[in-house]
Copies of this chain bind each other. A is one copy, B any other.
């Protein structure tokens, strides 16, 4: 089954476009927003508990490589993804891969082996067509970063040669031509309505928009629906996973995201 069909199936079954970001940090990593003391350094245990408490409200889980990849073994990743799949949800590795073709292919091999359904891709290496083809060959969906949620990204991503659209729009267009499955579009304040509309116009109809940065600024949802349509996965991470009642919080977001 192609990733787009998997997405439609999960969205319909779960009646949700909520994607829950699993970015579990240890106490020794930073002061705030860390996993509760009782887990010690058991990132897997924490993730499994969060999945158990929230999956009924979620369409997908997005797992960030920078938090888990050095700590979890391949077997543990496989287990994590099996649990996500058993819950009827999609599992996306937020890997921001962006390498030459050979190295990308090595990543696709391992990401598929670990049981993920899709991954995020950083377009700086330019080889979007090969990346999308090779990801599909490994039965993986590919989400291409276009306009990120952090404002420091603007000076690169909104870059525009004379008479040409900004870089994020050219990337969205190339992602569409490459038949990438989706694009990642931040929804923080510096991403304007016009930016979302440009990305929408440059994309193909099937494009899935993975939107991080909604977090606590709930007003953003109207803007997103209006500009991008229905093919959404709206990511909320820390606001759910570090809440005392992650299940209730997830349910709240799911309802908030009902059109």
Where the two chains meet, the residues of A that have a C-beta atom closer than 8 Å to any C-beta of B are 23, 25, 28-30, 64-67, 69-71, 73-74, 77, 96-107, 109-111, 113-114, 122-127, 130, 145, 148-150, 152-157, 159-162, 167, 171
Contacts and interface: CB of A to CB of B under 8 A. Distances in A.
Contacts of A161: 159-162
A191 to B, nearest CB: 13
Given A99-B66, A99-B96, A106-B66, A127 B145 contact: no
A27 to B, nearest CB: 12
Contacts of A96: 97-99, 122
16 contacts: A23-B102, A28-B109, A29-B109, A30-B102, A64-B106, A66-B104, A66-B107, A70-B74, A70-B113, A71-B110, A73-B73, A98-B98, A122-B124, A160-B161, A161-B161, A161-B162
The 10 closest A-B pairs by CB, nearest first: A70-B110, A162-B162, A66-B107, A126-B153, A127-B152, A126-B152, A124-B124, A66-B103, A66-B106, A100-B150
A161 B65 CA distance: 33
Count of chain copies: 2
B74 A74 contact: no
A106 B152 contact: no
A204 B126 CA distance: 27
Contacts of A65: 69
Given A64-B99, A64-B103, A126-B153, 6 more contacts: A23-B106, A98-B124, A124-B153, A124-B156, A125-B150, A156-B167
